[in-house]
């Protein structure tokens, strides 16, 4: 008996999110390898607020939910579950579990999925497996969810422990996440850092147009691409540098308050800080083409201590000089970027990059070539096949 090529991916992000993460990329990679994918959108781990964005999201989820599954690409179907996003209450978790299990079983039947692989980014979901005929259970641990604002950390911590213990395979994206998972399931835990679509982002090094909204901003342009939320980005750091270096223009591309609706950016309303909003994935190389120095001005807190930013290898693949705060996950790649432990060091690092005294950018591009979606997928599928053979005694 060969390994099933049907897979359920339980995401913590919606398919349509403009900034693709592991979840959408993995679904796409599996589909390209001939797998059939049922992509289950975010179950709403964070408690909703009275924010207009959360209200719009709930409305959009309701509209998508009543439409049923939608085929978004060849071999990929998206399911938007209609559940109650208050997971801190046992009764609601029980209701959600029954609703979700029933709906997943129904759609698996509609798609004729057989003995699917269960691939989750959400540890709470393991409670739903009892009624499903699953061949392999995989936990892809890409974030410290217990440190995310608005999430019930006690419930998630307990659920994650159970998830790690009961999973056939655990893939982690940072050493710190690996250390946590190894304690509970040492035999089946693997460390595979985040990776990059190298060919896509490497287009930034070729000659081509720069988007109009970016070309209007004076150089030098200091760039950041990603979620603009306080628990991820050090706004005070950006503000201090912008005040001390008014001739530098910060270009911030991303959704303000993504994952943290209460995020305030009033302090950053300066003439040399430019918010361009989110941009489509396909356009990012063109924006990187027009940025002089790429940055990761990440906040340092329990969440980012386990975070491996996907933008790191994307910046390198784009041939950019990179300056970042001291993120633990990036330390093993210290030769490829400049680390800054204070605003003064951040300024000095940017100055060096602007005069080509930073790390060799060709070295950075060559490093990024070793961390591609295809290379990581090869390793993951090899681990899946080995575990399948072990379980079926082949």
Q: Does residue 350 belong to any structural domain of this protein?
A: yes
pLDDT of residue 353: 98
pLDDT value at 361 more than 70: yes
pLDDT of residue 207: 93
Do residues 107 and 174 share a domain?
yes
Distances (CA, A) of 123 to 39, 310, 373: 16, 21, 23
pLDDT tens digits for range 19-68: 789 999 999 999 999 999 999 988 765 554 555 655 565 556 555 656 67
Lowest mean pLDDT among 82-91, 249-258, 325-334, 377-386: 82-91
Instruction: Give which of 60, 54, 102 is closest to 94, Cα–Cα.
Output: 102
Cα-trace Rg, the chain: 21
Question: Looking at the 3D structure of the chain, how many domains does it have?
Answer: 2
Q: Does residue 289 belong to any structural domain of this protein?
A: yes
Do residues 269 and 155 share a domain?
no
With cut-offs at 50, 70 and 90, classify the pLDDT of residue 261.
low
Length of the chain as a residue count:
394
Do residues 189 and 261 share a domain?
no
Do residues 182 and 49 share a domain?
yes
With cut-offs at 50, 70 and 90, classify the pLDDT of residue 125.
confident
Q: Does residue 342 belong to any structural domain of this protein?
A: yes
Do residues 364 and 377 share a domain?
no
Do residues 213 and 169 share a domain?
no
Q: Does residue 316 belong to any structural domain of this protein?
A: yes
User: In which domain, by residue range, is 77 found?
Assistant: 6-195+372-392
Do residues 58 and 173 share a domain?
yes
Task: For the chain, give the percent of residues with pLDDT over 90.
Answer: 69
Distance between CA 20 and CA 22 in Å, rounded? 7
Distance between CA 334 and CA 354 in Å, rounded? 19
Q: What is the mean pLDDT of the chain?
A: 89
How would you list the strands of the sheet with 338-339, edge to edge?
A: 273-275, 249-253, 221-225, 293-296, 321-324, 338-339
Do residues 43 and 142 share a domain?
yes
Do residues 38 and 76 share a domain?
yes
Q: Does residue 156 belong to any structural domain of this protein?
A: yes
Q: Does residue 1 belong to any structural domain of this protein?
A: no
pLDDT tens digits for range 207-251: 999 999 999 999 999 999 999 999 999 999 999 999 999 999 999
Q: Does residue 246 belong to any structural domain of this protein?
A: yes
Q: Does residue 225 belong to any structural domain of this protein?
A: yes
Up-side HSE of residue 37: CA atoms within 13 Å toward CB? 29
pLDDT of residue 387: 96
Concatenated DSSP letters for 209-237?
A: ---HHHHTSPSSEEEEES-B-TTTB-HHH
pLDDT tens digits for range 166-218: 999 999 999 999 999 999 999 999 999 999 999 999 999 999 999 999 999 99
**CATH assignment of the domain containing 381:** 3.40.50.2000
With cut-offs at 50, 70 and 90, classify the pLDDT of residue 85.
low
With cut-offs at 50, 70 and 90, classify the pLDDT of residue 111.
very high
Is 0.95 topped by the overall pTM?
Answer: no
Do residues 13 and 107 share a domain?
yes
Distance between CA 281 and CA 12 in Å, rounded? 19
Do residues 80 and 140 share a domain?
yes
Do residues 322 and 380 share a domain?
no
């Amino acid at each position: 008996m060969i390994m099933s090529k049907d897979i359920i991916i339980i995401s913590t992000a919606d398919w349509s999110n403009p900034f693709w993460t592991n979840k959408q990329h993995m679904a796409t990679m599996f589909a390209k390898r001939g797998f059939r994918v049922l992509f289950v959108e975010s179950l709403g781990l964070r408690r909703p607020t009275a924010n207009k964005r959360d209200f719009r999201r709930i409305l959009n989820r309701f509209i998508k939910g009543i439409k049923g599954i939608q085929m978004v690409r060849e071999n990929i179907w998206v399911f938007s579950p209609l559940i109650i996003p208050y997971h801190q209450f046992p009764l609601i978790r029980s209701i959600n579990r029954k609703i979700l299990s029933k709906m997943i079983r129904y759609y698996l039947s509609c798609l004729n999925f057989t003995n699917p692989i269960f691939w989750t980014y959400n540890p709470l979901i393991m409670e739903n497996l009892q009624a499903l005929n699953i061949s392999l259970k995989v936990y892809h641990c890409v974030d410290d969810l217990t440190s995310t604002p608005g999430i019930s950390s006690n419930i998630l911590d307990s659920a994650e422990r159970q998830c790690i213990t009961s999973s056939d395979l655990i893939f982690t994206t940072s050493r710190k996440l690996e250390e946590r998972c190894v304690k509970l399931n040492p035999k089946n835990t693997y460390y595979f850092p985040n990776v990059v679509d190298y060919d896509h982002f490497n287009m930034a090094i070729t000659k081509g147009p720069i988007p109009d909204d970016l070309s209007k901003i004076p150089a030098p342009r200091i760039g950041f691409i990603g979620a603009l939320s306080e628990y991820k980005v050090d706004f005070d750091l950006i503000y201090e540098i912008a005040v001390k270096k008014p001739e530098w223009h910060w270009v911030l591309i991303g959704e303000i308050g993504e994952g943290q609706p209460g995020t305030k950016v009033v302090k950053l309303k300066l003439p040399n800080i430019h918010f361009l909003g989110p941009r489509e994935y396909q356009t990012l190389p063109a924006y990187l083409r027009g940025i002089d120095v790429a940055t990761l001005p990440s906040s340092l807190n329990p969440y980012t201590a386990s975070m491996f930013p996907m933008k790191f290898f994307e910046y390198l693949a784009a041939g950019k000089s990179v300056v970042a705060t001291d993120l633990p996950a990036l330390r093993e790649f210290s030769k490829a970027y400049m680390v800054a432990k204070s605003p003064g060091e951040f300024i000095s690092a940017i100055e060096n990059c602007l005069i080509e005294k930073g790390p060799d950018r060709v070295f950075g591009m060559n490093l990024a070539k070793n961390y591609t979606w295809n290379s990581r997928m090869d390793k993951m599928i090899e681990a899946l096949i080995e575990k399948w053979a072990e379980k079926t005694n082949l």
